[in-house]
Amino acid sequence: MTESFANGAVDGAIQADVVIVGAGPCGLFQIFELGLLGIHAHVIDSLKHPGGQCSELYPEKPIYDIPALPVCGAQELVDRLLQQAKPFNAQFHMGEEVTELQVLPDHTFLLVTSRDTRFHARTVIIAGGLGSFQPRRIGLEGSEAFEGRHIHYKVKSAGDFTGKHLVIFGGGDSALDWTLNLAPLASHLTLLHRRAEFRAAPDSVNKMMKLVGDGKIDLVLGQVASLEGQDGQVTKAIVKTNEGSDFHIACDAILPFFGLTMKLGPVAKWGIKLEGNLIPVDTEKFETNIPGVFAVGDINTYPGKLKLILSGFHEVALMSQKAHRYVYPDKRLVFQYTTSSTSLQKKLGVA
Ligand code: FAD
């Protein structure tokens, strides 16, 4: 971590007791545990919605090892965590990746996001799981020239594609959803998928097939081999079909939807001690080598660590006690049960 505190670095920054990086199940339960101790949290996640791996990778799968819930859908668990955390009014900043973390001379922290939102925090909790979710890149020779301008891994505004010649790559829900949404706007749309089976919802596949049958879009089974362009503008995708022939699809925008990967990402550059892609912590406070910066959930490691949601829940409960000392150095922390403490029940809005 750099100690590069420029004068005015925190001017205009959002002042926060605690910033939680990551809104997976551990980040969400952290809001609750901090809230019981009277600590308000800001939560930042690069995804558009909370839930981390549960919502992004397996929302409909049942989980069987959450204590006292014999079976619980992964998205249902996220919804329940959000409901439980609601009384504490955490502020969510979704769709923003935390790119920078600096320690300031007074041992508070400056965090900067991909949207240039700045936070000045007393304590930072990294609940970043396996890292930020990132779209799988197209990775073709020469494709870098078109990245960011003609290759779009997400659609900010459907209107941007009006009247364009589009090629959409992929066979999952994102590829099919955008095929259905952009077909009426595009001048021409080709969906390219490497095989005849689709992972997307059957209803979307049926609707897409109808558009193909009505001659409104083209479906090509094959793989993109290269992209060509002129003056920095992509003009065609060279495709190898599953029959082995090559042909060109004229296009001026490419939308690859090959799914998401998880990368440790910017966390690796913050000067926090790492063991591989994990952050070593102690098992009393779950603090990193930087005092005031904690790591909970899948991103941390210690002897005996299990990457389970219930382990993360235990970690956030213990960790919150130490965060209290940073946020309220002069206040004594009294251990209380939610069943019997009127003060906790008031915080929960039930007394
Ligand atoms: P995550 O859920 O990974 O969330 C981390 C969040 O941090 C992500 O949303 C990410 O976008 C965000 N993030 C990371 N870096 C940044 C950054 N720089 N800026 C902004 N945001 C960032 N566990 C069980 O206990 N029981 C099970 O049955 C079970 N089944 C599973 C099945 C599958 C298919 C998978 C993949 C996992 C399963 N797990 C299960 C594991 C469980 O999902 C993880 O242990 C849990 O999600 C970890 O939670 P987390 O909050 O630590 O991290």
Residue of 78, 281, 299, 309 to test ligand 1 pocket, by largest number of atoms within 8 Å of CB: 309
Q: Which atom of ligand 1 is nearest to the CA of 307?
A: 45
Using alpha carbons, list the distances in angstroms from residue 237 to 14, 142, 218: 45, 12, 14
Q: Hey, whose CA ends up nearest to atom 34 of ligand 1? A: 58
pLDDT for residue 317 = 98
Strand partners, 261: 134
Q: How far apart are CA 25 and CA 148, in angstroms?
A: 31
Closest CA to 125 of 322, 347, 344: 322
Closest CA to 166 of 181, 182, 155: 182
Cα 82 to ligand 1 centroid, rounded to whole Å: 15
Q: What is the pLDDT of residues 314-349, one digit of tens each?
A: 999 999 999 999 999 999 999 999 999 999 999 999
Fold agreement between 14-133+261-348 and 137-258: yes
Residue of 26, 53, 130, 269 to test ligand 1 pocket, by largest number of atoms within 8 Å of CB: 53
User: Angle 309-327/25-36 helices, nearest 10 degrees?
Assistant: 40
The token pair at 282 is: 């102690």
Our CA angle for 98, 101, 106, nearest 5°, is 145
Mean pLDDT of 85-103: 96
Q: Which atom of ligand 1 is nearest to the CA of 98?
A: 19
Which fold is adopted by the domain 14-133+261-348?
FAD/NAD(P)-binding domain (3.50.50)
User: Angle 173-182/202-213 helices, nearest 10 degrees?
Assistant: 40
Q: What is the pLDDT of residues 221-265, one digit of tens each?
A: 999 999 999 888 999 999 998 888 898 999 999 999 998 887 888
Give the predicted TM-score (pTM) of the model.
0.78
Decide whether any atom of ligand 1 lies within 6 Å of the 26 Cβ: yes
What is the residue-averaged pLDDT of the chain? 93
One-letter amino acid at 29 equals: F
pLDDT at 285 over 50: yes
Q: How far apart are CA 150 and CA 160, in angstroms?
A: 11
Mean pLDDT of 291-299: 97
Q: How far apart are CA 125 and CA 18, in angstroms?
A: 7
Q: Which atom of ligand 1 is nearest to the CA of 265?
A: 18
Distance of CA 37 to the CA centre of its chain: 27
Closest CA to 180 of 195, 160, 166: 166
* Inter-residue contact 231 to 206 (CB < 8 Å): no
pLDDT for residue 5 = 39
Closest CA to 143 of 42, 259, 4, 237: 237
Cα 299 to ligand 1 centroid, rounded to whole Å: 9
Q: How far apart are CA 94 and CA 46, in angstroms?
A: 6
* Inter-residue contact 77 to 25 (CB < 8 Å): yes
Q: Which atom of ligand 1 is nearest to the CA of 44?
A: 20
**pLDDT category, 8, cuts 50, 70, 90?**
low
Cα 281 to ligand 1 centroid, rounded to whole Å: 18
Q: What is the pLDDT of residues 32-63, one digit of tens each?
A: 999 999 999 999 999 889 999 999 888 888 99
**pLDDT category, 1, cuts 50, 70, 90?**
very low
Q: How far apart are CA 107 and CA 103, in angstroms?
A: 6
Q: How far apart are CA 282 and CA 124, in angstroms?
A: 16
CATH code for the part of the protein at 137-258: 3.50.50.60
Using alpha carbons, list the distances in angstroms from residue 172 to 95, 104, 195, 317: 21, 44, 12, 38
Which residue's structure tokens are 């809001």? 31
**pLDDT category, 123, cuts 50, 70, 90?**
very high
Give percent of the chain above pLDDT 90: 80
The token pair at 73 is: 């859908």
Domain boundaries, the chain: 14-133+261-348, 137-258
Q: How far apart are CA 66 and CA 76, in angstroms?
A: 12
